[in-house]
Structure 1
Amino acid sequence: MNKKENNISNSKKALHLGKGLGWDNVYFIGIGGIGMSALAKYFHANKKYVAGYDKTSTEITDSLVALGIDIHFEDAVKHIPSSFLNADETLVVYTPAIHSGHTELEYFRSNGYQVLKRSQVLGLITEHTFCLAVAGTHGKTTTTSILGHLMYECNVPVTAFLGGISENYNSNLIIKGTEVTVVEADEFDRSFLTLSPDMACITSMDADHLDIYGDASHLMKSFEDFSKKVKVNGKLFVKNGLPLKGITYGIEDHSDYSVQNIKIKNGAYVFDVKTPKTVLKDFQFNLPGRHNLSNALIALAMAVEYGCPYRQLAEALASYKGVKRRFTYQIKTEDFVFIDDYAHHPEEINAVYQAIREMYPGKKIVAIFQPHLFSRTRDFADDFAKSLSQFDEIMLLDIYPARELPIEGITSKWLLDKVKNPNKQLISKNEIVSKIHQSKADILLTIGAGDIGEEVKHIKKEFSVAS
């Protein structure tokens, strides 16, 4: 690894939000990732020349190209624009998903470029701002997008980096100013330890990413380390019941911040919020599921502690539309509902099931699930089987490998055998539409963090016509 890659202190002055960024050019390796593309948009908005590489063309890369960002899809130095072949004027940003033998990455490392991980760059950008960070094994993206939206609508000079595409802004970057940053603090490969937030929350600490951490205790230790990154006189918020000290939040309990008097009106939650000082009345939130209500509560708590006015917060929350692939309605008619969700952990699947059952009692729910990572499937197989068994019918696609090679014996068939519900089957992508027709589902749910999202448009096209 090039010595420059570790010499982050030299970069601090260059990445100060609202100041002149030290490089004219920023080159991204893995530019199509959700976190990488948000950074690419940020630098582009700051009038930098941005370009990059990714393995395949996607809707995200298409959106970047539409902004005028140069992207290519073959790993070859000859495709790098000539203006980036200048080590003094070019910052190189890469994602850990890129393998170490990547030709372009090795070229930059061998030729004296400043090469930094995405998490390092995000940490440097946020260092000289008032930073609000959202951590947790579940709920990060939705909570971050709610908080970014609340701050934006309350006229806070905020830049929010999201791990998903906001329905309100059709983007994973929200910009209204440069003094405040809202960031998703990702525990994967401990990248959230690059942050030094003024406020932070931890939504959950369930075991995950055991391919990185080895066991749950090391994951817990990483969250403890993150909690210590909060600046002196900063504020840490924790979901009630987590083994960390901080300002607590919860639903219908005695937490410092608590949702009270919950009602469902016209498919939306209406509720009050008890704060340490008072009770704020009549909030409305349009996303289903108690897990989403919890996400809304912590976003409200952080915005209240920041100083946002109650009435503006109430109006902002009511106007929040959600994040794409987070309980996203694709079709919603009296006879057929199609929902797509990013859930890829047993607890997330449980939360989605609870939300659907609450909204659609008595309806037949058919779930199509694409497991994500061989290691995660292996580590949580029994929990996956239990969560999937709750649905009326389950269809499994092959495991999406992402960054992993196959693990012997770990297959979707192996997982399916553990599912107790007899209404189950293994299917291929080209069978999806026909199998849905055969299922006679009232509610169809597609879930997973792999490329199942690419199938959504085909399903929507077929059943929008049919319904």
Structure 2
Amino acid sequence: MKNLLQYNTYYLLGIKGVAMTNIALILQKMGKKINGYDSKDTFITDLVLQKNNISYVTELPIFSQDKLSDVYVYSGAHNGSENPILKDAVNKGKIIVSQAELIEEIRKLFTISVGICGCHGKTTTSSLLAYSLTKLKVKPSYIIGTSTFQDLDGGDYNKNSQYFIFEADEYGLQPPRDMRPKLLMYHPKYIICNNIDFDHPDVYRNINDIKKTFLAFFAQHNLFLCSDDLHIQSLLSKLNRNQYKTFGFSDNSDLQLTIVNSNEFYTTFTASYNKKNLGVFSIPLFGNKNISNTGGVILALLEFGFSIYQIKKVIKNFSSVKRRFEFVYKKNGILLYDDYAHHPAEINATIQAIRMRFKDKRIVIIFQPHTFSRTESLKTPIVQALSNADIAYVSPIFPSAREEAKNFKINSDVLNKEVKLLGLSNVNICNTKKEIIEKLAHQLRLGDIVITMGAGDIYKLKDDIIEVINVNEKQTNNN
């Protein structure tokens, strides 16, 4: 097959997905013409596509309308390779390729490629590394799992750079049709792995299934591994010791971190590398997981030859990733944030980060479970994690287009029974988003930290929540 990047025109099915949007940005910078299809629904990538003049259609076209495209790229969205657009393209002899395969072709262009993997924290870690390299003036190329971070788009291409940063996602290529893990398509020079956890029950049977996938990915690569993660620890004996370096809070970490202090603006921590003290670092990120993930970036930057002084300077100014504890609104002491957490481990990590940053504030979470398969498999740890907030409201499940509710024994009633069984009085299962807003209006207090949470569209509730916050202020003033 001809090199996939030698063609002129690319058609991206599901172009509004964050990875597809960022692939489009890279292809556009390569001088390629981009076409695409997606739904009319609002996505966080809409503004990025508009700003970069990347056009797409929201009605399924007939093939003759797109006869100039050379390569058709698919993911699991819109029925993947079975979509009528791609079937017509196959009949016309066009090239069909998965999103992961095209990312791997892009990766091959660079001498220093870094795949960020792990079931949690990929986007913050890859954003921090891409941001740091950008500020260090080496102009990396990257594909990040978000629309924007800091003042940067989630995808960029610089043909003269050595560096390519991307997220190596553990999900399948297009379940249930093709369950092969995407990360096994990739062969980066370096891998940063933050953690291994049980997730994606529609792809993996159990934690051992996931661990086998990660172990296969680790083979013959240079690894930066989190030493605090028990599942990563269990794989170390199967790796060559010269192959990996570790980071984390553990005493046996090659790069050992110790949190010194945190306030509303920064976390301060110390680091030592091979028992040599590297001094004090500050970063506007919070929680043990975020600081641990920062350790992976520091270790990579040291490997690439950057000085401690340079690293301390660049990470101190990093803070903002779209939908990762993203600030939304503030009024009368009430703060509204949005976060992508959708797995129990992520919920716990986000709550711990909020308590580290805002020590005496009430935490009010508005959570949207994501996919029937995940919610059914993890219903107990999900509601237990939510109970660590002061108040949690749980919306109906956000479904995957690949799943049908009738095939699962999970819904709001089942979650409510689980909450009652566990005696969790602060977790409120709601049947509608309207019910959430009504309950929030009665229970919101001045000084609360409110956070919408989930991988679906719960962030779209922000206008209703802001109205509640503003009404709360008026009522307080009237009293």
Q: TM-score normalised to the size of structure 2? A: 0.87
Residue 250 (structure 1) aligned with residue 254 (structure 2): no
* Residue matched to 2:477: none
What count of residue pairs does the alignment treat as equivalent?
Answer: 443
Residue 416 (structure 1) aligned with residue 416 (structure 2): yes
* Residue matched to 1:218: 209
DSSP 3-state at the match of 2:376: helix
Within the candidate set 442, 446, 449, 1:438 is matched to 442
- C-alpha distance in 2 between matches for 1:413 and 1:66: 43
Note closer, same or farther for the CA distance 1:144–1:71 as it changes in structure 2 (3 Å cut). same
- C-alpha distance in 1 between matches for 2:317 and 2:47: 28
- C-alpha distance in 2 between matches for 1:48 and 1:408: 43
DSSP 3-state at the match of 2:342: coil
> Which region of structure 1 is more displaced relative to structure 2, 374-383 or 412-421?
412-421
Gaps of 5+ in 2: 173-180, 237-243, 474-479
Within the candidate set 449, 459, 470, 1:453 is matched to 459
- C-alpha distance in 2 between matches for 1:198 and 1:101: 33
Letter aligned with residue 91 of structure 1: V
Residue 179 (structure 1) aligned with residue 198 (structure 2): no
DSSP 3-state at the match of 2:164: strand
Letter aligned with residue 96 of structure 1: G
Q: Deviations over 1:231-282 (max 9, x none)?
A: xxx3443433422333111126330011135222553111222112732222
Q: 1:148-297 maps to which residues of 2 (within 5 A)? A: 148-176=130-158, 177-189=160-172, 190-228=181-219, 230=221, 234-240=222-228, 241=230, 242=232, 243-245=234-236, 246-251=244-249, 253-260=251-258, 262-265=260-263, 267-276=265-274, 278-297=276-295
Work out whether residues 31 and 61 of structure 1, in 8 Å CA contact, stay in contact via their aligned partners in 2: no
> Which region of structure 1 is more displaced relative to structure 2, 246-255 or 191-200?
246-255
How big is the shift at 1:372? 0.3
DSSP 3-state at the match of 2:450: strand
DSSP 3-state at the match of 2:269: strand
DSSP 3-state at the match of 1:98: helix
Letter aligned with residue 436 of structure 1: L
Letter aligned with residue 434 of structure 2: N
Q: TM-score normalised to the size of structure 1? A: 0.89
Letter aligned with residue 300 of structure 1: I
* Residue matched to 1:399: 397
> Which region of structure 1 is more displaced relative to structure 2, 317-326 or 372-381?
317-326
Note closer, same or farther for the CA distance 1:395–1:225 as it changes in structure 2 (3 Å cut). same
- Report the identity percentage: 28
Work out whether residues 65 and 71 of structure 1, in 8 Å CA contact, stay in contact via their aligned partners in 2: no
Letter aligned with residue 451 of structure 1: D
Q: Deviations over 1:102-148 (max 9, x none)?
A: 21011112221111111000011112411111100001111000011
How big is the shift at 1:209? 0.8
- C-alpha distance in 1 between matches for 2:472 and 2:29: 42
Residue 428 (structure 1) aligned with residue 428 (structure 2): no
> Which region of structure 1 is more displaced relative to structure 2, 317-326 or 167-176?
167-176
Work out whether residues 371 and 412 of structure 1, in 8 Å CA contact, stay in contact via their aligned partners in 2: no
* Residue matched to 1:325: 323
Letter aligned with residue 418 of structure 2: K
Residue 335 (structure 1) aligned with residue 333 (structure 2): yes
> Which region of structure 1 is more displaced relative to structure 2, 108-117 or 371-380?
108-117
Q: Deviations over 1:311-370 (max 9, x none)?
A: 221111011022111111223456212121100000100111111222233432221111
**Superposition CA RMSD, Å:** 2.1
- C-alpha distance in 2 between matches for 1:79 and 1:364: 57
- C-alpha distance in 1 between matches for 2:373 and 2:65: 35
- C-alpha distance in 1 between matches for 2:65 and 2:435: 40
Letter aligned with residue 173 of structure 1: G
Within the candidate set 5, 24, 32, 2:16 is matched to 32
